[in-house]
Chain A
């Protein structure tokens, strides 16, 4: 099973700042099959990125994904108030599919 470790656990930033979230896999993720999701309290997750770097339909271009192999990042170029949430990475290159434990982006 591929274990995904996200860091940091919590990121305290101000609106307008840049957020960089890390997702490290315990082994290489096949075909860079890595997705990112955003979750706000009391809501279902929202799909952001697939195949490491492709934005889902309707996702603003301030969200970008990068990386390959076992190291991936999600960058939010300039934080908007609605971006403060928990972010999860998920790999679907190997069964079982797995999630990281999440990174909380909070207002500083």
Chain B
């Protein structure tokens, strides 16, 4: 079955880091990229960046540049997104999605990250 399965919800304190995983199955992992998109409560979709699972090339949105790292592990077909120095406005559902050319054709179920003291 072609799918992306994400790790579970997280609650973090301000200043901490979070690492969300996204495990792919049912397709050739290295033939696509993985993007990360977040959605704050009641808000729209915000693109955070993407990584090629083929060669590891990555591109981050300026808003999270310097705080985010996206990686892939081809041996386990898993992508990771780590966000550091968390702030309350990082509270959101974080989605991974498969990238083909530049569109996002397969989405994970989302991971709620709550940043609160």
Residue numbers of A with Cβ under 8 A of B are 33, 35, 37, 39, 44-47, 50, 56, 88, 90, 92-93, 95-102
Within residues 26 to 59 of chain B, which ones have a CB less than 8 A from any CB in chain A? 35, 37, 44-47, 50, 59
Residues of B in contact (CB 8 Å), total 22
Q: Are A56 and B107 in contact (CB under 8 A)?
A: no
B47 with A97: CB separation less than 8 A: yes
Question: Which residues from chain B sit less than 8 Å from chain A, CB to CB?
Answer: 35, 37, 44-47, 50, 59, 61-62, 95, 97, 101-110
Cross-interface CB contact of B45 among A33, A45, A93, cutoff 8 Å: A45
Q: A95-B59, A96-B61, A96-B62 are in contact. Are A102 and B44 (CB under 8 A)?
A: yes
- Residues of A near B95 (CB, < 8 A) are 44-45
